[in-house]
Amino acid sequence: MNDIRSKRIRQADIATAAGVSVSTVSRVLTNEPGISETIRQHIFKVASDLGYPLKTAAETTSGGLALIASDSVTGGLSVFYEGILEGLRAGAAERGMRFDIRLIREARTEPEVVKEHLQAAGAEGLFLVGIDPSDELRRWLETSGTPVVLVNGTDPKLRFDGVSPSNFFGAYSATRRLIDAGHRRILHLAGSHRQTIRERIRGFEAAIASMEGADGRLVPMTFAGSSSQEAHDKTAAILAEKGGFTAAFCMNDFIAVGVLDAVAEAGLRVPEDFAIVGFDDLPCALMTNPRLATMRVDRAALGREAIGLMIARFRDRDAPARHICHGVQPIAGGTLPPET
């Protein structure tokens, strides 16, 4: 220790003392995302103990503002966004970022309105939570150089940083769970209102294409995606057609609840006659009988990751945009036979 303290401390010295790679130390000291909080705190402690000059996050981090679509957080999907907000708040507190949250109708996300919100909050960085920027807003964000992170959102041209669940891969996995259980005629109830949901549709279609003889049918949802009643009515109509569909993958658990109700009313046994897989692992998945099989999204992790992306963007405004995709976890439930 004395030998190290007698010279200028380098990141390589921190890496040796912490038992990690130099690249990991570099990523932590520049506040890049993708490092576990345990490793991050360990490296900061080792660096401090060695006398490495550390700036506090409060000294280096500009403020951030999260704009959240009001129809998402005040409707059926509110619990989903509560988890994301929890992660955003916790991540901002840990990094010393000044942080504010405001509700906004997505139709009101014009550049002038967004600019006013940023100025009122004294924020430099913008988190768009559950909001896909319009062409007008996108152009203003790019022209103004405003640091922006899409949270639970995806830019198909990767012009902005973003973090989301693995929508394509999660949907592929969910559909394969039904295929692996022996089902070949599968419904997918989904909207098309957001890029993230369209990625789930592509995942469903890819899984159907991966199995010879499988037949998938997209059932469009007209609402934003949390209408159990619409899901119930459309499923009941399809079952009345006696078209031979024996399973459904639903874009979220609220829709899966409606499907389950329709299947039960049709006198079908679950999962013997009809199997269902949802998405998100929301509290309602625990309340159904039987419990829904679903795909778990770590919503708080999305929020924390978004904070890391913003801090990295503050430090390097010209770096290429990055999108971080979080894997989703299959959750067993009685709407799907036991999986091997």
Residue 320 identity (one-letter amino acid): P
pLDDT below 50 — which residues of the chain?
1-6, 57-60, 74
As assigned by CATH, the class of the 64-165+299-327 domain is alpha beta
Instruction: Determine the Cα–Cα distance for residues 189 and 159; give it in Å rounded to an integer.
Output: 29
pTM surpassing 0.85? no
Beta carbons within 10 angstroms of residue 119's beta carbon: 10
Taking each helix axis from N to C end, the angle separating 228-241 and 253-265, rounded to the nearest 10 degrees, works out to 40
Q: What pLDDT does residue 61 have?
A: 55
Whether residue 235 contacts residue 263, with contact meaning beta carbons closer than 8 Å, is answered with: yes
Residues 313-334 pLDDT 10s: 998 989 999 999 999 999 999 9
Of the chain, the percentage scoring pLDDT greater than 70 comes to: 91
| Rg of the chain taking only CA atoms, in angstroms | 23
Instruction: Determine the Cα–Cα distance for residues 34 and 77; give it in Å rounded to an integer.
Output: 26
Domain spans of the chain, in order of start: 11-50, 64-165+299-327, 167-297
C-alpha distance across the termini of the chain, in Å: 52
Instruction: Determine the Cα–Cα distance for residues 122 and 127; give it in Å rounded to an integer.
Output: 14
Peptide bond into 271 cis (omega under 30): yes
Q: Which CATH superfamily is domain 167-297 in?
A: Response regulator (3.40.50.2300)
Angstrom distances, CA of residue 129 to CA of 82, 201, 325: 11, 21, 15
Which residue in this structure is represented by tokens 């639903």?
250
| CA nearest to 310, candidates 321, 299, 301 | 321
Quote the tokens at residue 170. 């999660």
Q: What is the dihedral of CA 303, 306, 310, 313, to 10 degrees?
A: 170
Would you give the DSSP letter of residue 162?
A: E
**64-165+299-327 and 167-297: identical CATH topology:** yes
Angstrom distances, CA of residue 16 to CA of 9, 29, 54: 11, 15, 18
Q: What pLDDT does residue 27 have?
A: 77
Residues 7-65 pLDDT 10s: 678 888 999 999 999 888 877 876 666 677 788 889 888 988 888 876 554 444 579 99
Q: What pLDDT does residue 41 have?
A: 82
Residues 90-105 pLDDT 10s: 998 888 888 999 999 8
